[in-house]
């Protein structure tokens, strides 16, 4: 098959790097690698693996999303490029990369350029502490949970700067929405996480998973001895992670029927692509955290099956599928509806859960001990 | 809510909603003066797709103008065919055979269902729910296939002639219509379960965009917009034309005056249209579908004639003034959406942007019909 001239024109700049530079790089690495100290080797491998995982997920979750939504909507979805359209994300990526990066007149250029990175980089950084299995973790940090939330709160800054720097009224409205939404949803989410930390006594994600060893009734989702409201806590966490990642039905920041494309209205090419990758990376992070905190991470649901990273991925992708399922089923809420849900329902519920858990964890054993 | 919006700060900005905006479904521009996300003042600006249909009517012969009527409201084109045909038939005193009248009713009602289905899908799309439009389009596609088989067109129909219709319907059309009604009857509960009873939908539509009956009268709004505000008026019942008096159907009226009421009116109208089609198919008489006495070069006698039909979006009125020649002296089209849109500016004051778009969608705007 002879590619279309346009396709050839687009692909030409990629030929030199792939044909010449990649082998050079690989050859160079082959000789240099043994000279690199072991610690640095590990860091480099982790770095590459984390970035590859995040980027690969972002690309293929788009494919999955298109397939899922197509089947929900009585369509087939991408099918032309490769079997089941599996090459589609690659082609999309090439398209996005070869597009002109348009910087409109009157934008605040530094903010405009840095905003997409502020969304993507913290999301990729968060992958560093995610334990896919007991050993498969880039860096096992004692304050992993804290680190992820620290990075997650940078995300909103990217949306705000992107909207603000765009010099577009729709983008500014969207940025303002995204900020109030993120502020409103970080509170119940963090209260739930604090509750979890009270139960787990640790911020180390590895240890949290190890504590849920055994069968599925040992998962924190069903740890009723710690708090009878554990499933509610999981729901709160899940809803909040939807809102944190600007996913439907809380996608007010990019409500396309109201605000054209929200905060990324003025972004083209990879500017938009990086925002998009950041969004999907954040979904992966949110789902992974839910799996680690509530669904037992890499632990198998029944004790006679072997534990392993496949369980982690299975649970994570199931949650991601749920996220997509929700997106293609529900209409969008309004900003008021969203804030009401957070301040009037989720925050009181998570506070009740916090009180109940602290009672169960701290006071109940004392009472039992005294009697 | 509106007090809060109008009293806070005096610092407002202008937001141009359109002419290229996904929620306006066409080249409508609304100039919004905003205070944060609240709308202080809204002004619809028209004219981006004006094609001078009324002037064209003065230069074309009577029959030549018929295709133009389908370019007004392209989603419910047959009603506009009907309105114009009725006006000219009244002017030239042309009788229409009974079978043709029945066929007109069947096709117009099918077209009304198609229009409401598309609106249903597009409205939920406006509210951020992207799936229902595909289901609605799937159903609408069946109607378009049926109509294509008799009219030869899928969207811009030119099916009606003075004195009848251009093509008789056959058994496959009748069987197909019955099958379609069966299919849609099965689908409607799904739509209600998935969309109408959805908590987010209800929250977004209830008490949003109230239009008082006074405002309806002030702006001359008609159709589902009027019937959603508790005014029971439908040309098919109140000033019956064609063979509508022979059918047993209800006019859905809701008193809530909000977007939900307008939504429910349209959903119920789909059911009523299905009832009409079923009865018409049962009673369909034999006979010709075209009067033979219509002259090729039509010259209605001097005079001023008006006729109105109930289109999918409200009352479509057609006034023709004839000076006895083969073209109209004056042609005035009263399009329902123009009046329905006019109240948008007043009604959406103090509303949130998201609510205003939910409200605008509930008016069911078709822009080429506003700019004729």
Render pLDDT for B95-146 as a digit per residue (tens, 0 to 9): 888 889 899 999 999 999 999 999 999 898 888 888 888 999 989 999 999 9
Q: A6 lies in a domain? A: no
Distance from CA of A322 to the nearest CA of B (A): 16
Candidates B20, B354, B358: best to mutate against A (most CBs of A within 10 A) is: B354
Q: A270 lies in a domain? A: yes
pLDDT over threshold 50, residue B2: no
Using a CB–CB cut-off of 8 Å, the residues of B that contact A are 13, 15, 21-23, 36-37, 124-131, 134-135, 138, 194-195, 198, 200-201, 203-204, 352-355, 357
Q: Sign of dihedral through CA atoms A26, A32, A35, A36?
A: negative
Q: A266 lies in a domain? A: yes
Are residues A258 and B355, on separate chains, in Cβ contact within 8 Å? no
Is any Cβ of chain B less than 8 angstroms from the Cβ of A236? no
Q: A16 lies in a domain? A: no
Which of B315, B352, B319 lies closest to B76 in space, CA to CA? B315
pLDDT band at A2 (very low <50, low <70, confident <90, very high): low
Averaged pLDDT score across all residues of chain A: 82
Is any Cβ of chain B less than 8 angstroms from the Cβ of A8? no
Q: Write the CA distances from A231 to A225, A313, B87, integer angstroms.
A: 12, 21, 66
Candidates A70, A167, A171, A257: best to mutate against B (most CBs of B within 10 A) is: A257
pLDDT band at B207 (very low <50, low <70, confident <90, very high): confident
Print the domain residue range for A77: 44-364
Q: What span, in angstroms and rounded, lies between the C-alpha atoms of A184 and A240?
A: 9
Are residues B134 and A75, on separate chains, in Cβ contact within 8 Å? yes
Smallest Cβ distance to B128: which of A69, A75, A249?
Answer: A249
Q: A181 lies in a domain? A: yes
Are residues B200 and A330, on separate chains, in Cβ contact within 8 Å? yes
Q: A371 lies in a domain? A: no
Domain count for chain A, please give it.
1
What is the mean predicted confidence (pLDDT) over B214-239?
88
The tokens describing A36, both together, are 């690199």
Distance from CA of B213 to the nearest CA of A (A): 27
Give Cα A5 distance to the centre of its chain.
Answer: 38
Distance from CA of A93 to the nearest CA of B (A): 24
Q: What span, in angstroms and rounded, lies between the C-alpha atoms of B145 and B141?
A: 6
Q: A11 lies in a domain? A: no
* Domains annotated on chain B, with CATH: 52-339 (1.10.645.10)
Q: What span, in angstroms and rounded, lies between the C-alpha atoms of B75 and B336?
A: 13
Q: A13 lies in a domain? A: no
Is any Cβ of chain B less than 8 angstroms from the Cβ of A335? yes
Spatial strand order of the sheet with B29-35 comes to B13-17, B29-35, B38-45
Are B57 and B328 contacting, i.e. CB atoms less than 8 angstroms apart? yes
Dump pLDDT digits (tens) for A31-81: 887 887 877 877 888 888 888 888 888 888 888 888 998 998 888 888 877
Distance from CA of A66 to the nearest CA of B (A): 12
Dump pLDDT digits (tens) for B268-293: 999 999 999 999 999 888 888 888 87
Q: What is the pTM of this model?
A: 0.84
Distance from CA of A181 to the nearest CA of B (A): 14
pLDDT over threshold 50, residue A131: yes
Candidates A261, A334, A336: best to mutate against B (most CBs of B within 10 A) is: A334
């Amino acid at each position: 098959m002879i590619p279309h001239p346009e396709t050839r024109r687009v692909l030409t700049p990629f030929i030199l790097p792939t044909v010449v530079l990649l082998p050079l790089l690989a050859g160079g690495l082959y000789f240099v690698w043994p000279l690199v100290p072991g610690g640095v080797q590990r860091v480099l491998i982790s770095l590459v693996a984390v970035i590859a995982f995040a980027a690969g997920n972002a690309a293929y979750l788009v494919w999955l999303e298109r397939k899922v939504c197509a089947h929900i909507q009585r369509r087939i979805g991408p099918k032309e490029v490769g079997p089941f359209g599996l090459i589609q994300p690659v082609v999309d990526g090439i398209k996005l990369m070869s597009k002109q990066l348009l910087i409109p007149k009157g934008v605040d250029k530094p903010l405009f350029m840095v905003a997409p990175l502020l969304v993507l980089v913290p999301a990729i950084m968060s992958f560093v502490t995610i334990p896919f299995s007991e050993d498969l973790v880039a860096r096992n940090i004692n304050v992993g949970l804290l680190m992820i939330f620290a990075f997650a709160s940078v995300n909103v800054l990217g949306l705000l700067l992107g909207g603000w720097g765009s010099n577009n009224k729709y983008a500014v409205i969207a940025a303002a929405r995204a900020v109030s939404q993120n502020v409103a949803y970080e509170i119940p989410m963090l209260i739930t996480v604090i509750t979890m930390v009270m139960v787990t006594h640790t911020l180390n994600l590895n240890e949290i998973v190890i504590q849920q060893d055994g069968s599925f009734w040992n998962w924190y989702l069903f740890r009723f001895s710690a708090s009878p409201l554990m499933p509610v806590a999981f729901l709160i966490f899940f809803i909040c992670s939807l809102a944190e990642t600007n996913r439907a039905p809380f996608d007010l920041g990019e409500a396309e029927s109201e605000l054209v494309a929200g905060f990324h209205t003025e972004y083209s090419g990879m500017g938009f692509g990086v925002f998009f990758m950041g969004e999907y990376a954040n979904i992966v992070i949110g789902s992974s955290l839910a799996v680690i905190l509530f669904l037992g991470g890499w632990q198998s649901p029944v004790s006679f099956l072997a534990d392993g990273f496949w369980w982690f991925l299975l649970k994570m992708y199931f949650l991601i599928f749920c996220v997509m399922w929700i997106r293609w089923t529900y209409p969008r809420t309004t900003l008021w509806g969203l804030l009401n849900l957070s301040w009037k329902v989720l925050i009181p519920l998570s506070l009740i859960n916090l009180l109940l858990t602290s009672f169960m964890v701290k006071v109940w054993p004392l009472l039992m001990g005294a009697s | 809510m509106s007090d809060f919006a109008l009293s806070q700060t005096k610092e407002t900005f202008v937001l141009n909603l359109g002419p290229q905006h996904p929620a306006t479904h066409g080249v409508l521009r609304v100039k919004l003066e905003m205070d944060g996300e609240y709308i202080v003042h809204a002004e619809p600006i028209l004219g981006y797709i004006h094609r001078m249909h009324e002037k064209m009517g003065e230069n074309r012969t009577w029959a030549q103008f018929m295709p133009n009527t389908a370019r007004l409201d392209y989603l419910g084109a047959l009603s506009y065919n009907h309105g114009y045909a009725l006006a000219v038939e009244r002017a030239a005193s042309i009788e229409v055979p009974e079978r043709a009248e029945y066929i007109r009713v069947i096709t117009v009602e099918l077209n009304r269902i198609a229009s409401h289905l598309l609106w249903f899908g597009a409205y939920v799309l406006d509210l951020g729910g992207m799936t229902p439009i595909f289901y609605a389009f799937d159903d609408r596609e069946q109607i378009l296939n049926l109509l294509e088989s008799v009219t030869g067109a899928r969207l811009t129909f030119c099916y009606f002639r003075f004195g009848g219709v251009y093509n008789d319907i056959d058994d496959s059309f009748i069987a197909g219509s019955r099958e379609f009604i069966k299919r849609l009857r099965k689908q409607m509960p799904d739509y209600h379960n998935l969309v109408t009873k959805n908590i987010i939908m209800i929250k977004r539509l209830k008490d949003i965009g109230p239009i008082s009956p006074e405002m309806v009268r002030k702006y001359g709004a008609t159709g589902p917009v009027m019937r959603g505000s508790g005014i029971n008026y439908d040309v098919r019942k109140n000033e019956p034309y064609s063979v509508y008096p022979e059918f047993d159907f209800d006019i859905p009226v809701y008193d809530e005056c909000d977007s939900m009421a307008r939504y429910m009116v349209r959903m119920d109208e789909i059911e009523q249209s299905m009832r009409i089609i079923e009865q018409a198919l049962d009673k369909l008489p034999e006979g010709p579908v075209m009067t033979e006495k219509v002259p090729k070069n039509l010259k209605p006698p001097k005079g001023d004639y008006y006729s109105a039909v109930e289109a999918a979006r409200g009352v479509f009125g057609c006034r023709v003034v004839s000076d006895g020649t083969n073209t109209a002296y004056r042609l005035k089209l009263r399009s329902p959406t123009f009046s329905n849109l006019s109240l948008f500016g007043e009604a959406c004051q103090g509303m949130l942007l998201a609510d205003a778009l939910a409200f605008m969608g509930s008016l069911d705007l078709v822009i080429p019909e506003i700019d004729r």
